[in-house]
Chains A and B, each alone.
Chain A
């Protein structure tokens, strides 16, 4: 894959480039600040962009804004956003521009290389990758009448993995259960939460995330 990296911390930038090259990807450009981001993306049209949320000059959300701007001009550009800590607003902003080919990971996740590379592949293939930390924060019990209470522990696990963006096969593999059981659990979850049945893929992820986000905002 051809990849553009935008990260202001030199250590991380070089580390990422080294890792991605060593597993056979091509890093076609690296960017250090928000200003250079969009032109570089339009110039190289990479297969995926890996972006830090906060970039110079203001260290607010240059990376994210760059991603949104780039996706307006290159609608299919997969974007994997790296963040220092979980910021729901940012994750929601990212999803609001369509949940295909987007990822939101904590920077620490980069150190867990297998997970990171899988997430990268998933996003590049048009899928979704949400950091487990983001999902677990969305899954916490909020109110006494939390609809998620209706789920069995196993169903909660399946829901979390689904929200992170894993496909049925991957969920089965991670939980050591057969894919047919995964399908059964998912059917139950959708029924219990009253979610409309959707086909697999990113539309399902989007439905789940939207649902979880709506729970979260109601609790606030």
Chain B
């Protein structure tokens, strides 16, 4: 029932823009025609940017319906009007956008028509017993006239059939539209040109450097706020002890206790900071063992399934550290936010890459809505994975289950 109501909302929203999309198509054709004679070219980037905004809105909507993310894959657009027009027209995503607009105009409009037809049909025939006697002329269903209570009840049944049909068909139609949207608007595994690949690598490299810098900033702050502050306050305690040594010796035990606690805290925070840089368990025992210790430490009962290529060499240190970070963050999320009763981690370590899948039976909805500060949780995982040219895929429909899949290629 909830699904039917959701599909109703989805199809109505989509239907509204689908009707507009028909006009949008004509407008775009007009712009392209104008651009052939010259001055219209200036309108191309504007029109296509508008189209991208519409497409983005539908990526979001379809993503919400499907419970996954539908990312866009536009090339970077910059420079003057001509340069932008050129980049956009050369981008394959632009042409699939147009194809989508056409499909959306058709399927969206039909969807909205289905909603209106089925719902008004259901509503009018279900209510027949309430009003058929008041009608000036007997209402007609198909071929028979409603002129008796029996016929009215039969009409009511017909209304129920309409309702059932709506409840069955509308979610399917919404699913169809959303899948179509994802197929056309989502990034495809395609053979990318060398130039695109270079652009992509440049971006991920910049992201890697940025991730690196963010990591250094985090470590610096950890050290300052934790260990350094702790040690300075120990020094302060020692100075105070010297002050009270003769005047108030009775205060000494408390101060000594405080200093000892502060030292413990400082050591602990130092250990934490060092660990976060390169977890010692990775150094000593490798990723599989590190995953075991993570799973064992997770407060939610979690099963672990590790597959490791026999005799496979170890992945580069940075990739292992990233994989460890991904599992650690994912399990933290499971423990903190999912409300799950059980979770499952699958880890596959092969020569050409590391694959991770973390699944829980919690309430879902992870990564939806504006996340907390960047660098935390899911966005932190995405950034760190993207830095290694890896893939992050999060499926977390409201109500769960949540599944995070990460692939980290190892340089080969």
* Residues on A facing B (Cβ under 8 Å): 9, 11-12, 14-16, 18-19, 22-23, 84, 107-108, 110-114
Contacts and interface: CB of A to CB of B under 8 A. Distances in A.
Contacts of B228: 107-108
Nearest to A59: B221
Nearest to B233: A15
Interface string B204-236: 000000000000000000001100111111011
B229 A12 contact: yes
Interface stretch (B93-101, B238-246, B357-365): B238-246
B229 A19 contact: no
B393 to A, nearest CB: 35
B229 A9 contact: yes
A84 B233 contact: no
A96 B147 CA distance: 97
A107 B232 contact: yes
Contact residues of B: prevailing secondary structure? helix
Given A22-B243, A23-B243, A107-B228, A14 B235 contact: no
B232 A12 contact: yes
Nearest to B258: A18
Contacts of A19: 236, 239-240
Interface size class of B (residues with CB under 8 A): 10 to 19
B14 interface: no
Contact of A22 (B224, B232, B233, B244): B244
A88 B243 CA distance: 34
B58 interface: no
Given A18-B236, A107-B229, A111-B235, 12 more contacts: A11-B233, A14-B233, A15-B236, A15-B237, A16-B236, A19-B239, A23-B243, A107-B228, A108-B232, A110-B232, A112-B235, A113-B236
Nearest to B225: A9
Nearest to B224: A84
Contacts of A110: 232, 235-236
Nearest to A111: B235
Contacts of A107: 228-229, 232
Nearest to B262: A11
Interface of B: 224-225, 228-233, 235-237, 239-240, 243-244, 262, 265
30 contacts: A9-B229, A11-B229, A11-B230, A11-B232, A11-B262, A12-B229, A12-B233, A14-B233, A15-B233, A15-B236, A15-B237, A16-B236, A18-B240, A19-B236, A19-B239, A22-B240, A22-B243, A22-B244, A23-B243, A84-B224, A107-B229, A110-B232, A110-B235, A111-B231, A111-B236, A112-B235, A113-B235, A113-B236, A113-B239, A114-B239
Residue among A15, A110, A111 with max Cβ neighbours from chain B (10 Å): A15
The secondary structure that dominates the A interface is helix
Contacts of B243: 22-23
A114 B235 CA distance: 11
A25 B214 CA distance: 41
Contacts of A114: 239
Contacts of A23: 243
Contacts of B239: 19, 113-114
Most buried by B among A22, A107, A110, A112: A22
B400 to A, nearest CB: 35
Contacts, number: 45
Contacts of A112: 235
A20 to B, nearest CB: 10
A204 to B, nearest CB: 31
Nearest to A9: B229
A111 B224 contact: no
A111 B231 CA distance: 8
Contacts of A14: 233
A23 B239 CA distance: 10
A56 to B, nearest CB: 12
A15 B244 contact: no
B245 to A, nearest CB: 11
Contacts of B232: 11-12, 15, 107-108, 110-111
A157 B262 CA distance: 37
Nearest to A84: B224
A27 to B, nearest CB: 13
A3 to B, nearest CB: 14
Nearest to A12: B229
Contacts of A11: 229-230, 232-233, 262, 265
Nearest to B248: A22
Contacts of A111: 231-232, 235-236
Contacts of A18: 236-237, 240
Interface hub of A16, A19, A114 (most chain B Cβ within 10 A): A19
B262 to A, nearest CB: 7
Contacts of B231: 111
A108 B231 CA distance: 9
B5 to A, nearest CB: 42
Nearest to B255: A18
Nearest to A22: B240
Contacts of B244: 22
Contacts of B265: 11
Contacts of B262: 11
A61 B232 CA distance: 22
Nearest to B236: A15
A171 B326 CA distance: 57
A112 B236 CA distance: 8
A15 B244 CA distance: 15
Contacts of A16: 236
